[in-house]
Structure 1
């Protein structure tokens, strides 16, 4: 792929439809969509033909330019097909989080005013429960379609063979809405972020300035994050429509670790929790290596750490160290990366929450080209670290054509071509977020260094100010504890207007199940929370985290809650953000108990 030619095409494109059609024509024989088992494998030519047929079917249902289409599916090729078919009509497809309850779905349907829903059989009951007070007329059900719904095949058969598909997609313009991203909402109703075709295109355009991204974006990506989240829509849907990358779908994110060696993605994005799991798994595997193999592995990591430290400090790397590092890559690191499935990854991003410096340095030492980046649904991607110019602990520098500045209170403001059109049917909250001159109030507190590197401190509304007036980032405290043990799932740092910091902790379900099996413990969260072996692990994790934190940030006491928090629950959103107000109210008794004996 010629980056200059692609950038020129992006700058001239009237819509994502035009770019998609170009990719289908020029990459017709290449794989576009594939399930892990290969049961479904569509080339770009076949992808384009299916989109044409589905668009004709949706048009036969009356879907017009500007209409909305709801999609509630797991990660599967049908999502890409249906979503692309809808936006080729100038319609607005949007995704519903699979964990949403009927009342939440009803709110989305009311706000979006969609007449069509596409869902899987497993979600049909909730969709039916949500449509009572909505204007939904048509439900396309994947699986067993009961009376009153239709199958995907029936939708395609409904289309008029003479349907003028080309004139419909050519009528779509850059400023037309391509989707609505409903923020998962830590407080209040979700906000519907309306993205335009221009916004969708800009994400790829801005990233093409990074050579490692440019070389990897034509390869393979894995679709496992919710399609209701902006990052998966861009990485595994919009970006491939431009570059021709093959999209491998993973319906259950719990299968990601097994999927990576199959996909071997060339560009990969995930959250800190997964990176902590990768680190823990590698350390555990290396600890089991005995004899000479164990010594060689330990030496390889030590050498690689020294090489990474020199690179990050911008120090010259001595010739002997360079030669040793080349040897370690060949003897140890290449094998580890292949086992993980990231041996062909040219750039791997971490985002959505802070990650510890130690974990980033460990991943870099393994040879994973991990880079911290930052963005929001409202603005898309805004900053990125770049391999070779990495500054660990920052989210890098602003992407091309993105402007940034700080207010006196530290809040970051951004002005970007990736700016949303606004919150759907919500001019008041839109005006609160976007100033008339285009600057977006991000709600994040940060620091912009003189050379442009940006450090995110925390959400403005979530900063802890203790009773002595000390400002602290709860996210920094929480990430330190999560990184200290794979058993830790969610952490909530408490301390606002208090004398010291405490924490609520829950266990990570998969790690807890493995721990229970290994130690012969009842795997229920209540039994695990009461078990001395589990408590010992968490005591060590908190102590390890405290050693990395300043004295005022250190956790003086914690409570292990006898529950698992799953994404989309009352306590955490579908994107793993803490619903702090709900937690504070729901666990007020447990929080008060942490302060009963008043430590200094």
Structure 2
């Protein structure tokens, strides 16, 4: 048995056990960093550190507090909060109490929150602030089983008339209650952990879903213990690493990173404020970071826009440097695949050195200057954007997984990464391609099933453990997986041609620095069309150059000059496509797509049916008078 196999096969039953191992192994090592307001109250935040021992004291206090409230093993505790250290400590406290966490995005409205808490049968809700408490109070009549709400930031969250006695308490009060419980029962938490079984429910997480109502995915304790050990076994993350974690922890991608960290023992700096990313990176100086593709797209578009604002000469330099980066990345990756070395021709290497001084070094510094690699997941990264960052020295390791499979199933293997693929399976994960091209997965991370929906479970989970992902893909002879599209998203035109919209959309994002979101449409039509939403800040900066300063986003989008500008990028897109793939018509949307209007999931995936429904008139307008084949 290899060391990797031993690490996986000898995994403990739960992340709670992993946590105990970590506390015992490195109690005084730094575990977490979190931002706190600077002493002066001005300028950037300071950062406060917690050791593993200090983190354990809080986790045990939360766990014992939940036990004192009467929470039993596998009972559900909801957690509605943005990404912050309290989220991680609360999640660990829930698991160490033997209960099951039901994460809720804080942006979820009261009706949807009530549905999830009711469907899960939650006994306690840990809420971030007064706004989350207000939602719980609003739908309390629909949640008779919700006995307590614990608020992390109590400002403005006071008990209200009609609240049952003891219904609302603060996280500090819960921890104080836990400390008192431990004085009477010192081994209470360790006893709960010792009693945990691998098959016991650890997380009931609801898919944000691109269609329909969310489904509750039942993930066992063993699934997270496996993920922690499997990430550890890849060797991609090391004990001396510093991770910057800003991803939504209510999303399975964010949550799996916490399991990997506990197994490996590295430092994680936690701050979920997306508007602070640019400010935090040079301060945290991470060695690795996970993100969704939209973040890399925004960085790329931002760099391109800034170069354009610098004048024609600066923009020409950027465009040249971008092409050099892509050529360098493609050549070095191909040579590594064939020979095991990243050699490139002398002339290209010389161009790359010049471009590095002029462009790439500044991009790396913006990421903190120490970034060894980024992991990208949750949706597809446009290959041309991936190649740009690869050539600039920001190595993006694309990975793949689903909520139903505990998030991490495949990832690119470090130095041997290949842009445009999602890499190879994690140790202990199996992959195969069905006859119709669908990707099937099997691993200890696969869900137990959908909560209370055996029929829906049977549709995707076979009796021998193979999970049907709904994605279409191809495996290379040496085991790299490439995702081509969602099975349900493939377009069949009225002429009988199949089109993968995600591929076209990804190409356009790499070409147009002003695009934010694009939806390619064409099912049962005789040509493809597109709805295009532009990035507000980039667009308005461009508008100033065109003499449209002071105009709103909607006014700029309506201007013929904007349509003409986008049309140029659509022509560039079409030049690289097959005839049946080309976008014959497009419409610019009056605003960007967002989570608040239900057009994007919280992980920024496009909800195609919602967008197509909302902008049905624009779609029909593009096909008026068109002859259907």
Matched with 1:506 is: 533
Matched with 2:40 is: none
Contact 1:307–1:325 (CA under 8 A) maintained in structure 2:
no
Where does the alignment leave 5 or more consecutive residues of structure 2 unmatched?
Answer: 36-44
Aligned partner of 2:265 among 241, 244, 248: 244
Q: Secondary structure at the match of 2:226?
A: helix
Aligned partner of 1:471 among 498, 502, 523: 498
1:202 equivalent to 2:226? Answer yes
Deviations 1:565-594 (A, max 9, x none): 212533222222232223333322211100
Aligned length: 595
Contact 2:34–2:270 (CA under 8 A) maintained in structure 1:
yes
1:270 equivalent to 2:291? Answer yes
Contact 2:253–2:378 (CA under 8 A) maintained in structure 1:
no
Deviations 1:59-78 (A, max 9, x none): 11111111111111111111
Q: Secondary structure at the match of 2:138?
A: helix
Matched with 2:237 is: 214
After TM superposition, the structure 1 stretch with the greater mean CA deviation from structure 2, 390-399 or 374-383, is 390-399
Deviations 1:58-112 (A, max 9, x none): 1111111111111111111111111111100110112111221111101101111
Structure 1 residue 298: deviation in Å? 8.3
Contact 1:304–1:328 (CA under 8 A) maintained in structure 2:
no
Cα RMSD after superposing both structures: 3.0
Structure 1 residue 487: deviation in Å? 2.6
After TM superposition, the structure 1 stretch with the greater mean CA deviation from structure 2, 52-61 or 516-525, is 516-525
Structure 1 residue 319: deviation in Å? 8.2
Q: Does the C-alpha gap of structure 1 residues 311 and 13 become closer, same or farther in structure 2, counting only changes over 3 Å?
A: same
The CA distance in 2 between the partners of 1:116 and 1:47, in whole Å, is: 22
Q: Does the C-alpha gap of structure 1 residues 64 and 509 become closer, same or farther in structure 2, counting only changes over 3 Å?
A: farther
1:143 equivalent to 2:180? Answer no
Aligned partner of 2:376 among 323, 333, 350: 350
The CA distance in 1 between the partners of 2:135 and 2:46, in whole Å, is: 30
The CA distance in 1 between the partners of 2:542 and 2:63, in whole Å, is: 49
Contact 1:305–1:365 (CA under 8 A) maintained in structure 2:
yes
Matched with 2:19 is: 20
Q: Does the C-alpha gap of structure 1 residues 298 and 393 become closer, same or farther in structure 2, counting only changes over 3 Å?
A: closer
Q: Secondary structure at the match of 2:389?
A: helix
The CA distance in 1 between the partners of 2:497 and 2:313, in whole Å, is: 50
Matched with 2:397 is: 371
Structure 1 residue 442: deviation in Å? 0.7
Structure 1 residue 321: deviation in Å? 6.3
Q: Does the C-alpha gap of structure 1 residues 515 and 196 become closer, same or farther in structure 2, counting only changes over 3 Å?
A: farther
Please give the residue correspondences for 1:160-309 in structure 2 after superposition, counting only pairs within 5 Å.
160=181, 161-163=183-185, 164-211=188-235, 213-215=236-238, 218-235=240-257, 237-284=258-305, 305-309=326-330
Q: Does the C-alpha gap of structure 1 residues 338 and 502 become closer, same or farther in structure 2, counting only changes over 3 Å?
A: closer
The CA distance in 1 between the partners of 2:594 and 2:59, in whole Å, is: 34
The CA distance in 2 between the partners of 1:323 and 1:540, in whole Å, is: 32
Structure 1 residue 174: deviation in Å? 2.3
Q: Secondary structure at the match of 1:408?
A: coil
1:129 equivalent to 2:138? Answer yes
Aligned partner of 2:612 among 540, 560, 584: 584
Q: Secondary structure at the match of 1:378?
A: helix
Deviations 1:197-250 (A, max 9, x none): 221122233334444x133x6522222221111010011x22222222222222
Structure 1 residue 4: deviation in Å? 4.8
After TM superposition, the structure 1 stretch with the greater mean CA deviation from structure 2, 381-390 or 60-69, is 381-390
After TM superposition, the structure 1 stretch with the greater mean CA deviation from structure 2, 520-529 or 396-405, is 520-529
Structure 1 residue 10: deviation in Å? 7.3
The CA distance in 2 between the partners of 1:311 and 1:302, in whole Å, is: 14
Deviations 1:242-296 (A, max 9, x none): 2222222223223222222222222222222221222233345566779999999
Q: Does the C-alpha gap of structure 1 residues 57 and 491 become closer, same or farther in structure 2, counting only changes over 3 Å?
A: same
Contact 1:178–1:196 (CA under 8 A) maintained in structure 2:
yes
Matched with 2:42 is: none
Contact 1:303–1:324 (CA under 8 A) maintained in structure 2:
no
Matched with 1:118 is: 126
1:313 equivalent to 2:321? Answer no
TM-score by length of 1: 0.91
The CA distance in 2 between the partners of 1:173 and 1:390, in whole Å, is: 36
The CA distance in 1 between the partners of 2:358 and 2:536, in whole Å, is: 31
Structure 1 residue 326: deviation in Å? 9.2
Contact 1:525–1:564 (CA under 8 A) maintained in structure 2:
no
Q: Does the C-alpha gap of structure 1 residues 98 and 536 become closer, same or farther in structure 2, counting only changes over 3 Å?
A: farther
Aligned partner of 1:493 among 505, 511, 520: 520
The CA distance in 2 between the partners of 1:116 and 1:294, in whole Å, is: 55
Q: Secondary structure at the match of 1:313?
A: helix
Contact 2:7–2:233 (CA under 8 A) maintained in structure 1:
no
The CA distance in 2 between the partners of 1:391 and 1:39, in whole Å, is: 35
Please give the residue correspondences for 1:505-584 in structure 2 after superposition, counting only pairs within 5 Å.
505-512=532-539, 514-515=541-542, 520-522=548-550, 524-584=552-612
1:63 equivalent to 2:61? Answer no
Q: Does the C-alpha gap of structure 1 residues 169 and 208 become closer, same or farther in structure 2, counting only changes over 3 Å?
A: closer
The CA distance in 2 between the partners of 1:352 and 1:490, in whole Å, is: 16
Q: Does the C-alpha gap of structure 1 residues 286 and 588 become closer, same or farther in structure 2, counting only changes over 3 Å?
A: closer
The CA distance in 2 between the partners of 1:551 and 1:342, in whole Å, is: 43
Where does the alignment leave 5 or more consecutive residues of structure 1 unmatched?
Answer: none
The CA distance in 2 between the partners of 1:246 and 1:353, in whole Å, is: 26
Deviations 1:140-179 (A, max 9, x none): 1223231142111111122212232221222222222221
The CA distance in 2 between the partners of 1:490 and 1:334, in whole Å, is: 26
Q: Secondary structure at the match of 1:140?
A: strand
Q: Does the C-alpha gap of structure 1 residues 546 and 430 become closer, same or farther in structure 2, counting only changes over 3 Å?
A: same
After TM superposition, the structure 1 stretch with the greater mean CA deviation from structure 2, 380-389 or 84-93, is 380-389
Contact 2:332–2:344 (CA under 8 A) maintained in structure 1:
no
The CA distance in 1 between the partners of 2:246 and 2:424, in whole Å, is: 27
Contact 1:98–1:123 (CA under 8 A) maintained in structure 2:
yes
Q: Secondary structure at the match of 1:345?
A: coil
Deviations 1:488-544 (A, max 9, x none): 222111100000001112233444455566765456443232134433332233223
Q: Secondary structure at the match of 1:115?
A: strand
Q: Does the C-alpha gap of structure 1 residues 170 and 187 become closer, same or farther in structure 2, counting only changes over 3 Å?
A: same
Deviations 1:465-500 (A, max 9, x none): 001110111111222223333432221111000000
After TM superposition, the structure 1 stretch with the greater mean CA deviation from structure 2, 353-362 or 434-443, is 353-362
The CA distance in 1 between the partners of 2:395 and 2:422, in whole Å, is: 14
The CA distance in 1 between the partners of 2:5 and 2:58, in whole Å, is: 25
